[in-house]
Structure 1
Amino acid sequence: MSDAHARMATRAVHAGEPRPPRGGSVVFPIYPGTVFESEPGEDAGYLRYANTPTQEYLHGKLAALEGAEAAVATSSGMAAIAAVLHTFLAAGDHVIVAGSVYGGTGVLLTEQAERLGWRVTFASADDPAEWARVLRPETKAVYAESITNPLIRVGDLASLSGFARERGLASIVDNTFCTPVVFRPHELGFDLVCHSATKALNGHADVSAGVVTGSADLVERVRRTTTLYGPCLDPHAAYLLARGIKTLELRVRRQNANAQAVAEYLSGHEQIAAVAYPGLPGHPDHARARAWFDGSGSMLAFRPAGGLEAAEVLIKQLRLPYAAPSLGGVESLIARPAAGNRGRDADRAPTGVPEDLVRFSAGIEDTEDLLDDFAQALDG
């Protein structure tokens, strides 16, 4: 069975694996070398070029997960996003950002973009007419997140990819919150998909990595950018990421189930003012999630009825989730995103993160234990 025809759980385990396995080893080995012998006329195997054996093995697995022709891994999610933007934007070029974005991306698209001469317009994720109004002759790309961080919204992704395609713009989407288990943006027409593989793709909070997938031509352009700037992924980290991916489907399904259960519980609790999770019928983007997603993701956000003070007390009262800013791991995590944005006003304006917003990343713990923990914390 080819990678393209295998279902997701099978792709996660078998995609990119050489058959017969090298040296008979079922586990692909780590090649720690930084330079490899090449034939005359061939590109040299060199770590910074992202073409060493362990890196290329990982790239094959990543591309198969997203249903793409090619992939390149980087040293972090922000390295992946920065590499894509540096590839497709030059000084004077314009990019439309549809919807809210992760804080680090926001800083890149405000403070750093100004220094680089990029022009950036933050627009609604839902209004093609607004995209048309802000379009300029120098517009080169559109950028969005499949589920926005941290407001948990799902924009009109199908219209956005079509808008870009009709106008010859590069369409870029950060798919970290969904993972390819839940959503594969290339199937909706997006050119390039980015991930912070530090999150769910690895899933064990012990690797920093990023991913870009797309057509062979576009990914090669991004790879040339990473070769120049040097955010290559170490072979040991590449090995750990590939190992983590093998359980991706199992982990994400459990995380989705836990997030759904917690969201339903919180939405019915008198001490919770609002819950944002696409799996809830009352979520404004529920219909889009049902149409495009296979699940609703592991991330939810909520606002306690008691405001900021109640949010801080609740986080302290919970026993299972770690109070930490990341997401997508086997351990549940909880954080107040606005606290992490202090001192970074440049990225708060476009995102509009309320002070009392709490973000919860569901892990793979027993569902009833998580619900019991929220019950004791809210009762307390």
Structure 2
Amino acid sequence: MDTKKIGLNTICTHIGEVKDEQFKGAVSPIYMSSSYEYEDVAVKRYPRYYNTPNQAALGEKIALLEHTEAAMIFGSGMAAISHALMAFLKAGDHIVLQQTLYGGTYNFAVTQFEKYGISYSFTTGWQPEDFANELKENTKVIYIETPSNPLLTITDIEAIAKLAKSKGIVSMIDNTFASPVNQNPVDFGIDIVLHSATKYMGGHSDICAGAVAASKEHIEKIWQASICFGGSLSDQTVWLLERSLKTMGLRVKEQNKNAMVLASMLEKHDAVERVYYPGLASHPDHELAKKQMKGFGGMLSFELLETIDATAFLKALKLIKPSMSLAGVESTMLLPTKTSHSLMSAADRKAQGIKDNLIRFSVGIEEHEDILADINQAITTVTNNQVLA
């Protein structure tokens, strides 16, 4: 099979599966062993070495989805992020990070880097010049996230990749919000692509995993660090992730459609102050999003009027779940100030524009009419505002 010519759903369904040579089953068998023979074998396998049959096969699938040479699977998104960063940073090095970041990544930077003698700078914005202004002679990594969590800012991937390459700097991107369905950063020159595979790759709110996709050379360097840090995950979870990836293309495209409809409707609502979604023409980076994304994703955020109690609104929902995490087949909402970005100080959240009334909305695959009806009834419950048409 020529993998360069097959489609997304075919990759999701067939690439990176473990063949059941004994019983000819239609799905991959699970190899749960933590102990493998080491004499007279082509590969000396061990779970912490990320090379069990299920781990290795799933890496092939994710690499092909992200247009890279290789990929590794980790126990969580933060495991993937931290292992990749620590593989390319040492005492005396400097890293430039995007201002708008997932709270866990931000917390890792501000609580851990100094312990290892690593200096860091956050940009004042997310334009290419904001990154260029923070570069130093010892800068080794530029780290971006686009669309960002939770404000859906859009960073120019190609411009950042060119900037990094011109200075001999490694570029990394958190591609979780987009997923490989909507965005392939390597096509724009990025070196290393990171995912919380818990999200769109898993897609069913029942596993925790992370992924890194890059060239063989970069993956080898990450592997050398990772076998020391021990961030591997069980093969049962690897198997579940492979199962989930089979439907990722179908799920994400339906979530894209729903998010576009709902963002457009929320933008017109009297109870909503502002909507953040790159698919809207009103988004300041809409044209850039069109250039580098194939779809605008299933994530959006919106601010209720300050007179509306956001917590009461979430409690009034009946279909949409007020729940942690994101990207499941079910629609969920949360307040970033109490969850994903709670580890940040109030001042730092304010600097990023994350307000107390900001709601992050992970759109599911339900009929959009049903999702909309639930939003309407929740607003009606807590206010007398006009509902959506």
TM exceeding 0.5:
yes
8 Å CA contact retained: 1:99, 1:148: no
Unaligned runs of 5+ in 1: none
> 1:110-152 CA distances to partner (integer Å, 9 max, x unpaired)?
1111222211111145433332222111100100112100111
> 1:237-278 CA distances to partner (integer Å, 9 max, x unpaired)?
000000000000010011111111111110011110100000
Q: Which AA in structure 2 matches 1:287?
A: E
TM-superposed CA distance for 1:289, in Å, is 1.2
SS, match of residue 300 in structure 2: strand
When normalised by structure 2's length, the TM-score is 0.93
Task: Give the paired residue count.
Answer: 379
Instruction: Give the structure 2 partner of residue 157 of structure 1.
Output: 157
Instruction: Give the structure 1 partner of residue 370 of structure 2.
Output: 369
Instruction: Give the structure 2 partner of residue 322 of structure 1.
Output: 321
> 1:21-54 CA distances to partner (integer Å, 9 max, x unpaired)?
6642221100001122245585521110001111
8 Å CA contact retained: 1:76, 1:209: yes
Instruction: Give the structure 2 partner of residue 88 of structure 1.
Output: 88
8 Å CA contact retained: 1:333, 1:361: yes
TM-superposed CA distance for 1:306, in Å, is 3.0
Of the structure 1 ranges 338-347 and 316-325, higher mean CA displacement relative to structure 2 is found in 338-347
Q: Distance in 2 between matches of 1:86 and 1:349?
A: 29
TM-superposed CA distance for 1:226, in Å, is 1.4
Instruction: Give the structure 1 partner of residue 357 of structure 2.
Output: 356
Q: Which AA in structure 2 matches 1:170?
A: V
Instruction: Give the structure 1 partner of residue 138 of structure 2.
Output: 138
Q: Which AA in structure 1 matches 2:277?
A: Y
SS, match of residue 36 in structure 1: coil
8 Å CA contact retained: 2:74, 2:209: yes
8 Å CA contact retained: 2:158, 2:188: yes
Structure 1 residues 55 and 25: CA distance shift in structure 2, 3 A: same
Instruction: Give the structure 2 partner of residue 61 of structure 1.
Output: 61
SS, match of residue 35 in structure 1: coil
1:285 counterpart = 2:285: yes
Instruction: Give the structure 2 partner of residue 239 of structure 1.
Output: 239
Of the structure 1 ranges 112-121 and 69-78, higher mean CA displacement relative to structure 2 is found in 112-121
8 Å CA contact retained: 1:125, 1:155: no
Structure 1 residues 185 and 75: CA distance shift in structure 2, 3 A: same
8 Å CA contact retained: 1:99, 1:155: no
1:334 counterpart = 2:342: no
Q: Distance in 1 between matches of 2:22 and 2:212?
A: 26
SS, match of residue 133 in structure 2: helix
Structure 1 residues 131 and 46: CA distance shift in structure 2, 3 A: same
8 Å CA contact retained: 1:84, 1:222: yes
Instruction: Give the structure 1 partner of residue 387 of structure 2.
Output: none
Give me the CA root mean square deviation.
1.8
Of the structure 1 ranges 147-156 and 350-359, higher mean CA displacement relative to structure 2 is found in 350-359
Structure 1 residues 272 and 348: CA distance shift in structure 2, 3 A: closer
8 Å CA contact retained: 2:69, 2:214: yes
Q: Which AA in structure 2 matches 1:328?
A: A
**What is the identity percentage for the equivalent residue pairs of Structure 1 and Structure 2?**
38
Q: Which AA in structure 1 matches 2:328?
A: G
> 1:322-359 CA distances to partner (integer Å, 9 max, x unpaired)?
11120010111100101224464296476442111110
SS, match of residue 45 in structure 1: coil
Q: Which AA in structure 1 matches 2:55?
A: Q
1:170 counterpart = 2:197: no
> 1:184-230 CA distances to partner (integer Å, 9 max, x unpaired)?
11111111000000111011111110000010111111112111110
Q: Distance in 1 between matches of 2:19 and 2:28?
A: 11
Q: Which AA in structure 2 matches 1:240?
A: L
TM-superposed CA distance for 1:17, in Å, is 3.1
Instruction: Give the structure 2 partner of residue 201 of structure 1.
Output: 201
Q: Distance in 2 between matches of 1:181 and 1:298?
A: 11
Instruction: Give the structure 2 partner of residue 219 of structure 1.
Output: 219
Structure 1 residues 333 and 22: CA distance shift in structure 2, 3 A: farther
TM-superposed CA distance for 1:314, in Å, is 1.7
> 1:2-27 CA distances to partner (integer Å, 9 max, x unpaired)?
22321111111111235786642221
Q: Distance in 2 between matches of 1:349 and 1:302?
A: 16
Q: Distance in 2 between matches of 1:51 and 1:189?
A: 27
Structure 1 residues 249 and 55: CA distance shift in structure 2, 3 A: same
Q: Distance in 2 between matches of 1:12 and 1:222?
A: 25
Q: Distance in 2 between matches of 1:57 and 1:41?
A: 18
8 Å CA contact retained: 1:150, 1:359: yes
Q: Distance in 1 between matches of 2:182 and 2:26?
A: 28
Q: Distance in 1 between matches of 2:38 and 2:201?
A: 31
8 Å CA contact retained: 1:94, 1:136: yes
Structure 1 residues 6 and 20: CA distance shift in structure 2, 3 A: farther
Instruction: Give the structure 1 partner of residue 310 of structure 2.
Output: 311
Instruction: Give the structure 2 partner of residue 32 of structure 1.
Output: 32
Q: Distance in 2 between matches of 1:297 and 1:32?
A: 35
Unaligned runs of 5+ in 2: 382-389
Q: Distance in 2 between matches of 1:361 and 1:352?
A: 19
Structure 1 residues 342 and 179: CA distance shift in structure 2, 3 A: closer
8 Å CA contact retained: 1:98, 1:143: yes
Q: Distance in 2 between matches of 1:128 and 1:192?
A: 18
